[in-house]
């Protein structure tokens, strides 16, 4: 479904990615891992055309999207839950959901069934939500685009343990429903049991790709600082 081949990406004169490869097959949950500053967010920004690659290629559903504008990439069926959530704070919960809605199985009702707190807060401004509720809204907003692939950058960062569990439960429901997911998260004990495959970045390069069960202590120690 998604194929990223040898991408290199720069922020002005500063190069952040030096050759990242990754694939996500239909229905897979792929974990994108690496220590702070290794290029996970930049990889996601490159996939979505927010910081386009200077070399390499991104293909989605057989189409080369490397140089497409972000809104066109989103319309092809890539849904993003960005780091820091970035809800539209001056809109209500409902308005946030409707703002990105595309026709499909994911409707306001289905999102509210996944996250009942959003139903309770339907008419509240997103500004007034807790961090966990904003993350639920960010996931709901991405689902409302009816994506074929959902990408979450820092799925549970900074959230209370009880809210993290709600987010992980929702991710499990999405996977069960057949959603393809690319996910960044630092809580390996939650992430690894749920992932079909893991990819590790080190200094802007892909250095390891495999099944979570193959991820030995030496690799964890070397690349993840565990």
Site of interaction with ligand ATP (CB under 6 A): 11, 14, 16, 34, 36-42
Kindly state the smallest distance separating residue 205's Cβ from ligand ATP, in Å: 11
Nearer to ligand ATP by Cβ, of 22 and 97: the residue is 22
Kindly state the smallest distance separating residue 104's Cβ from ligand ATP, in Å: 29
Kindly state the smallest distance separating residue 160's Cβ from ligand ATP, in Å: 20
Tokens, residue 8: 């290199």
Nearer to ligand ATP by Cβ, of 112 and 185: the residue is 185
Nearer to ligand ATP by Cβ, of 107 and 205: the residue is 205
Residue 192: CB atoms within 10 Å: 17
Kindly state the smallest distance separating residue 47's Cβ from ligand ATP, in Å: 12
Nearer to ligand ATP by Cβ, of 40 and 85: the residue is 40
Distance between CA atoms of 55 and 78, rounded to whole angstroms? 21
Number of H helices, E strands in the chain: 9, 10
Nearer to ligand ATP by Cβ, of 42 and 206: the residue is 42
Distance between CA atoms of 51 and 77, rounded to whole angstroms? 18
Identify which of 66, 62, 60 has the alpha carbon closest to the alpha carbon of residue 45: 66
Kindly state the smallest distance separating residue 10's Cβ from ligand ATP, in Å: 9
Kindly state the smallest distance separating residue 222's Cβ from ligand ATP, in Å: 16
Nearer to ligand ATP by Cβ, of 70 and 104: the residue is 70
Distance between CA atoms of 39 and 204, rounded to whole angstroms? 5
Distance between CA atoms of 3 and 25, rounded to whole angstroms? 9
Residues 6 or more apart in contact with residue 91 via CB below 8 angstroms: 99, 125, 126
Burial of 125-144, coded b for 16+ CB within 10 Å and e otherwise, reads bbeebeebbbbbbbbbbbbb
Do 56 and 88 meet the contact criterion of CB atoms below 8 Å apart? no
């Amino acid at each position: 479904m998604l194929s990223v081949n040898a991408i290199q990406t720069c922020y002005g004169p500063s190069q952040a990615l030096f050759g990242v490869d990754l694939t996500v097959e239909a229905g897979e949950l792929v974990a994108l891992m690496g220590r702070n500053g290794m290029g996970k967010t930049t990889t996601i920004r490159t996939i979505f055309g927010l910081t386009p690659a200077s070399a390499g290629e991104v293909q989605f559903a057989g189409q080369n999207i490397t140089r497409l504008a972000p809104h066109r990439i989103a319309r092809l069926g890539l849904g993003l839950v960005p780091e820091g959530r970035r809800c539209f704070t001056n809109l209500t919960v409902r308005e946030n959901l409707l703002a990105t809605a595309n026709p499909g199985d994911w409707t306001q009702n289905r999102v509210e069934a996944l996250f009942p707190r959003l139903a309770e807060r339907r008419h509240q401004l997103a500004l007034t939500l807790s961090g966990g509720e904003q993350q639920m809204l960010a996931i709901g907003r991405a689902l409302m685009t009816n994506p074929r692939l959902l990408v979450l950058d820092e799925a549970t960062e900074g959230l209370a343990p009880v809210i993290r569990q709600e987010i992980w439960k929702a991710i499990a429901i999405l996977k069960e429903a057949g959603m393809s997911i690319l996910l960044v998260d630092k809580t390996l004990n939650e992430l690894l049991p749920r992932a079909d495959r893991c990819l590790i970045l080190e200094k802007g390069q892909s250095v390891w790709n495999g099944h979570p069960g193959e991820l030995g202590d030496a690799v964890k120690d070397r690349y993840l600082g565990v």
